[in-house]
Structures are given as C-alpha cells and as structure tokens.
Chains A and B, each alone.
Chain A
Amino acid sequence: MNDKKIVITGLSCISALGLDLNTNWDNMLNGKSGVNKITLFDPKDLMTQIAAQVPKDFELLSEEKIKKRTLTQMTRATKMCYLCAADAIEMSSINLDLYDKTRCSVILGVVNTGKLDNDPKNKIIKGMNNAMSAWLSIKYKFEGPNYTIATACSSSAYAIASGYDLIKNNLADLVIVGGADSTINPEEILGFNELYALSTNNKNPQKASCPFSKDRDGFVIGEGAGILILESEESAKKRDVNIYAELCGYSLTTECYNIMAPMENGEGMAKTMEMALKKTNLTINDIDYINAHGTSTELNDKFETQAIKKVFGDQAYKIPVSSTKSMIGHTIGAAGAIESIVTVLSVYHDIITPTINYDNKDPELDLDYVPNKSKAHNINFAISNSFAFGGHNASLIFKKYKN
C-alpha cells in the first residue's frame, strides 16, 4: 500500500441536537439529549412513542436553501443529506473549479430514503436508493465514481472506508462521504418493536437512550445526516486548508452469524477492531479513545464491552469509551458518519463527548464510558465503531493531523 495520507477537510452534521455542526458539537459537549415524544405523527398506538427528531426548523431551512422544484423530488432524508453536504463543502473551502471533476466522487451510506407518501408523483425519484448521491453529483458536477452502500447501521462507515480506498488507490482526489437517514414513521417503529429493539421508556424520553447502563432497554430511533470531505493530504496542502484529522485506516468484517444478533461475547466486534489496528500498524497502546457503536441495547453494549476488553486487555480500562447515541439516538444509515464526525472533532479538540444517562452501573460493564460529562483528554488515535444488523462491522481509525 502506498503512503498517501487521507485527510478530512470538511464535515457537517444534522441531528436532533442541531441543524449545523457547531450547534451539534456544543450540545454534545454539554451532554444534551435530543430525544422527545414523537411529533412527526401521532404515536399513541405504538409501544415506542419517542424518537430523536431533528429540530422542526429543518423544513424551513430546506425551503430556504433548496430550490422549490428540487424539494418536491426529495424525501426528508435526502434534504438532510443535501443541506449537510453544502455545509461540509463550504467548510472545506474548496474551489471546485480547480478540480478534475472526473476524479471527484460521492459515496454515501443509505439504508433507504425514508417513508414515501401515496402520491405517485416523483415517487420513483424520491425512493431510489441512489437519489442522495445522484443529487450531490448533479449539484457539484462530480463525474467520478458515485454510489450508495447499504449495510444497515454501518452503511455510512462503509461509505467512508470506500471513499478512503478511492483516494488511496489514486482513483479520486476528493470524495464526499457520509450518509443520511430519516425513518421515524409508524411502520419502522412497529418493525423494530416487533424485534424488541427499541426503548419503550415513553415516560422519560430524555433518559431513554442510556448505553452501557443497567437501565438500558433498547435503542432510540433517530434521524439525521453526516457528511465528511475526504481528500489526499497533497490536495489539501496545495490549497493550504485546515485539516481536521487523518483517516489512517479501517477494517470491515462480516460476522456470518445471525441476521440480527451480534456474535456471542463480541467476537466479531473484537476481530474488527483487531484487524483495524493491524492494518494501520498500531498497537493497543496507541488508541486514546473509542467512539462506541453503543446502541443502548442489552446485547450490543455487553458484547461491545467484551470485545474492547478482549482486544485491549488491561489497557481497555484506560481508554475512554463513549456513545454518541446516548444523545442523538440511533440514526441508522447516518450513524457511522455522524459518529465519525464526533470522533474527528474529539481528536481535533482533545475533548470527549459523554455517554449521557449513565446513572446506574451495570456490574458486567466496567469500562470508562465517560459518564454524563464531557472530558478533556489528549487523543492521537481514536476508533469509531459501527456494528450492523446482518453482521456488517466497521472500525475506522482517525489520527490527529500533524504537519
């Protein structure tokens, strides 16, 4: 493998905690919860009546920033993706005219584009899984590889890995990566309820997502988007732009075990982290922070903890592990990207966002989960984990960028 470095020069996210990066980051540092009673529809007949919906100003923002006709051809998730990408592009200060557009790509993680209404008008355009990446290519005239990856909850982590490969293998100079998701609708919630995957803590929504704690009773469904701009270090340096972190490698594995449950004792998760360390020539002593998949489900949090202990041994107790999902719920297709963004910012600012609602310790889970309050911590290398239904695992490793 060549020594080309892949760096992040732009990033943005939309979640229940805000419609832009800074608002999200501030709210996360302050340990706020974005979970509330569902207002997108009347949830009274459902077991789960809570979710992490993006702020209601989102629709107004969309109307302000997206052309009227284009809006009618997009789902809520596609709009989130489109707005988020515009912010990330702006942040990266790219002069798109200077790029060879055949070497500019878009790779997104998309599980689906969201609930479609019964109106046949634009139904196909709205519903096609490649709509988000296609819209971005049309907007920015990126003529390079453009595709969508669907690996459930790890989709956008896979997209980031795929973008890394395109640049590393000299197939692209610049790649928009990330994902978006908005599946807060009765059908999805019913479906997840049938699997007993969702929290039913309807009485106390803000406390419902409590990864790694004894009280956890399932994940809280969220919505949002996360977009990162990846480019080669050479390309970024040429235009003297701020570099937020280096994506120094990743591991993608498949458990081949169960369509829903992770492998016993977190074996598959452990293998993924081990392979990521191996691929990046790092040791267990190099990792300073793990942004966990941390869903707040019984099995994930138990197995992820076991996996971290298996890989890092006694060192596991010295590595802070936190769950972004405690604050913004599980954004499914967007989760890998949003959590990568949080990891990048943690590496950049040397501060770790907390796992909120960590009030009752589960005796089996005994790592440092950064309970309830963010903490300053020197971070050179950090892992972002994503583990999906179907056994699609991803561990991405980010490194502090040094000139």
Chain B
Amino acid sequence: MGIIKAGTRDEVKKTVISFFSEECEVNESKISEETNVIKDLEGDSLMFLELLEIFKKKYGLDFELKTIGKYVVKHPVQTIKDIIDMTILIIQHENNINDLA
C-alpha cells in the first residue's frame, strides 16, 4: 500500500496532463480536470492503461491490470479528474482496490 504525500496529487496531475498533452497533441493549457478524454481530447480507452504502466514504474506499485480493470468497470473514468482520483486510489490500495467497492 502506497503512502500519499502532500505533493502526490499535484505530481500525478502533472504527469496525467503532460501525458495527454503529448499523446493527443493538445497544449497543456487547454487541459483541465474537467476535460473529457474521449470527447474533448479524442483520446482512447487504452491511454489509461498506458498511464497506469507509467505510474506503476514511477511509484513502484504492485497491481494487476486485470484487477484495476474490474474496478474501472464499476467506476468508469472519463475526465482528467477521474483519472487523477483513480490513480491516487491505486497508489493507496494497489491490488486491494476492489475491497473498496
């Protein structure tokens, strides 16, 4: 189980926005927490999985994508905020995330 420090959310947000800016070729200033990944950025569902791989390495997390997938089915992520919040939960609970549901 990871520990959320004071700056973790900002750090996650920065990584998420930077990732979508790069992948969707949209200026970072145009991306906010309310931005919808598919409708506003023409992104796709695979992007979240790629982000998870990035966070897995960055924070040394231990989780199975399959486990996260089960949680996401019940709690869909659509906006940048959804992704940030979900990432924070994954950092905190890793493979135990489904215990929250």
Contact = CB atoms under 8 A, between A and B. Distances in A.
Interface of A: 67-69, 73, 138
Contacts, number: 13
A69 B22 CA distance: 9
Interface in B19-52: 23-25, 42-44, 47
A68 B44 CA distance: 13
Interface residues on B, range: under 10
A138 B38 CA distance: 11
Nearest to B24: A69
6 tightest A-B CB contacts, nearest first: A69-B23, A67-B25, A68-B25, A69-B24, A67-B24, A68-B23
Contacts of B42: 67, 138
B43 to A, nearest CB: 8
11 contacts: A67-B24, A67-B25, A67-B42, A68-B23, A68-B25, A69-B24, A69-B43, A69-B44, A69-B47, A73-B44, A138-B42
B39 to A, nearest CB: 11
A68 B19 CA distance: 13
A344 to B, nearest CB: 32
Given A67-B25, A68-B25, A73-B44, 10 more contacts: A67-B24, A67-B42, A68-B23, A69-B23, A69-B24, A69-B25, A69-B43, A69-B44, A69-B47, A138-B42
Interface centre among A69, A73, A138 (most CB of B within 10 A): A69
Nearest to A67: B25
B37 to A, nearest CB: 12
B45 to A, nearest CB: 11
Contacts of A67: 24-25, 42
A73 B44 CA distance: 11
A68 B43 CA distance: 11
Contacts of A68: 23, 25
Contacts of B43: 69
A225 B44 CA distance: 26
A73 B24 CA distance: 13
B75 to A, nearest CB: 25
A68 B21 CA distance: 12
Contacts of B25: 67-69
